[in-house]
Amino acid sequence: MRGMSLKPIHCRLPVVMLGLLLCVPAWADRFADKGSRQHDHEHAHQAVIRGEVRPLAEILARVATEVPGEVVDVEFEREQWRGAKRWVYEIKIIVADGHLLEVLVDAATGRILEVEED
């Protein structure tokens, strides 16, 4: 490395940070669609107010009786299910044996539609 001058990390850090900051808008645009997870809570809240879906706490209590375990993720989505568009909660649960399950629940009725290993 003769003749090459290596700048200390604190001198290069501003350039690296600037590069990352310039990338953020592109990443944000990529993930910021209307159905994104950032807005799950807003969609769910409005649907609960309109009476279209059951509150998450009620859904989780129902699911816990049939699929006990630790809830690690919840998504609220509009999804096609057997020919009809409906609001669903996708709940990821780690069960006692350590497996991760995805539980699809009809948000309007609280009925479990599907349980699959994730």
Q: Where are the domains of the chain?
A: 37-117
Mean pLDDT of the chain: 76
Question: CA geometry: angle at 19 spanning 13 and 25, to 5°?
Answer: 135
Would you place residue 41 in the very low, low, confident or very high pLDDT band (cuts 50, 70, 90)? confident
Q: How far apart are CA 12 and CA 60, in angstroms?
A: 48
pLDDT in tens, 8-40: 444 444 544 444 444 444 434 444 444 445 466
The neighbouring-strand residues paired with 92 are: 73, 102
**Overall fold of domain 37-117:** Nuclear Transport Factor 2; Chain: A, (3.10.450)
- Asked whether the beta carbons of 93 and 71 are under 8 A apart, the reply is yes
pLDDT in tens, 53-83: 999 999 999 999 999 999 999 999 988 888 8
Tokens representing 108 are: 């309007």
| Strand pairing class (100-106; 70-81) | unpaired
Whether 52 has a pLDDT exceeding 80, the answer reads yes
End-to-end CA distance of the chain: 49
Whether 91 has a pLDDT exceeding 90, the answer reads yes
Whether 2 has a pLDDT exceeding 60, the answer reads no
Task: Tell me which residue of 96, 79, 89, 83 sits closest to 112, measured CA to CA.
Answer: 89
Position 37 scores a pLDDT of: 52
